[in-house]
Structure 1
């Protein structure tokens, strides 16, 4: 990437995210400068937005301060992804993200730390982002990837989710995943219970979004709990793949059913889902692009409500870097439309 195409400071969230998406889109292995320079530049952009946010906060311009901190979070997220192989810089950026979330959350109490009571008398901690106003609004249960916390997930999703007229409940994968049959669904159903009791949530418009391995948990919840009105999930592909692998292992030979039989099996899985479904393929997700395209074709033939987005990414000399800005905006745009 040439210096002439490097990101510049933008003064509003939409412009910042367009700049961020364009930067990630233009990454490639053939034209790279020192990755440390990129990290420094995006940290500078984030810090500058943070200074602006503090200044607006002191002036009492809370909404402008909040937008500045959302810009900062977008910039810091890019720096974190570029610094993933550099432990010291990665930890420094993660600390900046945590501080930015805390500051954003303190503005008009925009983020709440809540406790979700479970059926077995235990409890999990979560972050809750209320809607822009106090009216009953759609809500999304967002489950982090297996290597992330709810704080990390929230830092990435806040700029995409804020100002869409919906609330977000962010939970950590480790808190809600359990290998025992049905227990993950029970915990996530408790999250549904919690949202359903809130005065600012419309209980008929609650969706679920699972990131990474949590996409399979989102599918299971949508199958088991009819209160889920929309699901961003794996469409059952992870469990289907595990079942196929188990059959291969028991039989001792590869199981190679014909295309028609495979399509029928995928369709049976999807028929258990009674809500609209969005499958995210590629990137860091667990769904391959080829599997997702086949699933989408099966659903189109069966007139099932499933949509597909392919997460764009760039291969650099530091590895694959996902364009999370485009993916997250598409995901929350779909959720906003469906709910």
Structure 2
């Protein structure tokens, strides 16, 4: 692919996301010019997002709202690519993130898609903000997903990334930030997430028997604890307890001096026993910038298989860019996660013997 040029924007979401995925999969290796190339790629994708935003405005003026919606979703995808490429200490980092957040706000305000700023009441800490997007299925009771951002991201940033994925899937989403869940919970994030579940359950358009939860980055560990705590959860994308097990096994081995082989057997038994505490299907996403390593996830899946426990495992495509950092193909990863959630939440109402 020619990284120095970009075709005219057309506002076709499937095409825009396919182009983004191909670009991410094709990042070249280090050739001594990656610093300049990286800046060029960030600028190109940011300008592409701006062009899609302009196309959305033109379609709004023509009252072609469906086309405007698709153009906005293309813009959010382009901005997310730029955000993934820009260095954290780069002066452009804040500007790219601001484009994502502004895109989320304009998407709702201009097109009437009900991206609502809602308040979740937390008894000890007052209220905290979340973003809610209804499924858009009038008269139907649809599934919903609680989405918790990574420790590095605001809720609006995660929503901007997920909007192109969830629109049209017939599910509502409630997006909350890791900071709110972690900092306001006094060490009990499961209790706070249960309040989010209660909020969704009270919405007339949500089927309370088909509510799932998804944790990005370090939030995957928070979601694990919550899925074990709240038996109402219908599906969970989490770390399967891996982060806690790694910490525990390291501490036990250091304090007791147990031989590696014996410790491995003990940890395997603990993994299988913990997995039985889930009352719902779980998906573990391994690799990349997340908290779950591929090796630990494979061990967990093997232990679960030996114990006749079903666990799904996803490993996103990770590209090691020439600038020495891993870049995840978020397009294929997010599509995989939400296809899985859509499948599990659609089947959640079936009798258990049919699952």
TM-score range, shorter chain: over 0.9
Q: Residue 2 and residue 139 in structure 1: after superposition, are their counterparts in 2 closer, same or farther (change >3 A)?
A: same
Partners of 2:275 and 2:156 lie apart in 1 by: 31
Q: Which moved more, 1:203-212 or 1:89-98?
A: 89-98
The corresponding residue for 2:275 is 270
| TM-score, L = length of structure 2 | 0.89
Gaps of 5+ in 2: 346-355
Please report how far the alpha carbon of residue 48 of structure 1 lies from its aligned counterpart in structure 2 after TM superposition. Answer: 1.2
Query: Secondary structure of 2:289's partner?
Result: coil
**Aligned pairs (5 A) from 1:167-186:** 167-178=172-183, 183-186=188-191
Pairs aligned (count): 339
What's 1:79 paired with?
A: 82
CA distance in 1, matches of 2:265, 2:188: 34
Cα shift at 1:262: 2.9
> Helix, strand or coil: the match of 1:140?
strand
The answer as to 2:71 corresponding to 1:44 is no
SS of residue paired to 1:226: coil
What is the CA–CA distance in structure 2 between the aligned matches of 1:3 and 1:187, rounded to whole Å?
44
Question: Deviations along 1:171-214, whole A, 9 cap, x unmatched?
Answer: 01111115977621110000000000001111000000001110
User: Do 1:62 and 1:108's aligned partners in 2 also have CA atoms closer than 8 Å?
Assistant: no
Q: CA offsets, 1:18-52, max 9 Å, x none?
A: 11111100113246571111112111211111111
Residue 123 (structure 1) aligned with residue 130 (structure 2):
no
| Distance change in 2, residues 1:271/1:253 (3 Å) | closer
Do 1:281 and 1:308's aligned partners in 2 also have CA atoms closer than 8 Å?
yes
The SS at the match of 2:91 is helix
Written as runs of structure 1 = structure 2, the 5 A alignment for 1:115-154 is 115-120=119-124, 122-134=126-138, 135-154=140-159
1:291-332 C-alpha deviation (Å, 9 max, x unpaired):
101111222232323101112111123211111111001001
TM-score (norm 1): 0.93
Shift of 1:57: 1.4
Structure 2 CA distance, aligned partners of 1:243 and 1:11?
49
Q: Per-residue deviation at 1:254?
A: 6.9
- Relative to structure 2, which stretch is displaced further, 78-87 or 313-322? 78-87
Paired with 1:94 and 1:4, the residues of 2 have a C-alpha distance of 23
Q: Do 2:228 and 2:277's aligned partners in 1 also have CA atoms closer than 8 Å?
A: yes
SS in 2 for 1:228: coil
Q: Equivalent residue for 1:330? A: 336
Unaligned runs of 5+ in 1: none
Which of 206, 210, 217 is the aligned partner of 1:205? 210
Q: CA RMSD in A?
A: 2.1
Asked if the contact 2:249–2:263 (Cα under 8 Å) also holds between the matched residues in 1, the reply is: no
Displacement after TM superposition at 1:249 (Å): 3.9
